[in-house]
Structures are given as structure tokens and as C-alpha cells.
Amino acid sequence: MDEPLAALADRLLQRIEPPAEREETLLDAEAMARHARETLARYRRQDPRLDARVEVREDVSGILVSHGNFLISAEVRLPVRRLEAVLAHEIGTHALTWHNGGLQPFRELQEGMAGSELLQERLAVLAEYLVGGWTRRACGSWPAG
């Protein structure tokens, strides 16, 4: 990480208040899938062409978007406090970018171009931040630099 970016990250973490310690409530994969389907339904009201699916699967690790579909490992346990941020990251950024890219005449916008993964991840992390999903606890501690 370059010095200015590390310094900015450190300043950001200094401003984020750590949450009060509490017992974690965890969502299982099926509960997470229900919330994800509700999120997709809200987006479909804006664009009925959105054909993304939510799948709970045994053959994936963690959570991810693949070809616009939100895939959740059957083993996932997600803290409730992270739900909104995860949905903003995965569906609000990755799934919707896939969908929007598929509507463009320049189809490469759907698959992504060289180097686009870094931009996608930066946008997805920004989406997490904008919904209040970044805390020191969620991010871990970064050394001052």
C-alpha cells in the first residue's frame, strides 16, 4: 500500500467509533439468502430485467457474486451487524454492475476489463462504508504509518 493511501486509511480508522462490545447474533445461510432476495426484489422494482439469483450452495466458500448471481456457502454464519454492508458490497455493487454491463452495447463492461477488479472492490468497499458498515471491529486495526 502506498504511503498516502495508508495515511488516509489510518485517518479514516481514527474517526470510526468502535462499537460497544456485545454478544454477536449470527445469521445462517438461509436467513442471509432471504435478506438478499428482498434486496434483489427492491432493485427489480426499479428494473424488472434484473435476473440475478440467490443460491445457497455446498460448493462455494464464503459469499460471492458470479455472473451476477449471489452465491452463499451453506456453512456461512454472518454477524447481523454486517448484513447491510455485505449486501451493499455484493449485490449493490457486483451484481448490479454485472446487470448494467449486460445492458450496454459494449459487452466487455459486463465481464470486466483488465484491472477492473481493483476498481470494483474499491467501489464495493465504498458502498459498505456508505451504509455504515465499516467499524474498527469490522476492519481490524491497521498499523499507523
The count of structural domains within the chain is 1
Range of the domain at 38: 24-134
- Asked if residue 121 is part of any domain, the answer here is yes
Indicate whether 95 belongs to any domain.
Answer: yes
Three-state SS string over 58-115 comes to CCCCCEEEECCEEEEECCCEEEHHHHHHHHHHHHHHHHHHHHHHHCCCCCHHHHCCCC
In a domain, 15, yes or no: no
Does residue 16 lie in a domain region?
Answer: no
111, part of any domain? yes
C-alpha–C-alpha distance, residues 11 and 32, integer Å: 32
pLDDT tens sequence across 80-139: 989 999 999 999 999 999 999 999 998 778 877 787 888 889 999 999 999 988 766 555
Asked if residue 58 is part of any domain, the answer here is yes
What are the pLDDT digits (tens) for 19-40? 666 667 999 999 999 999 999 9
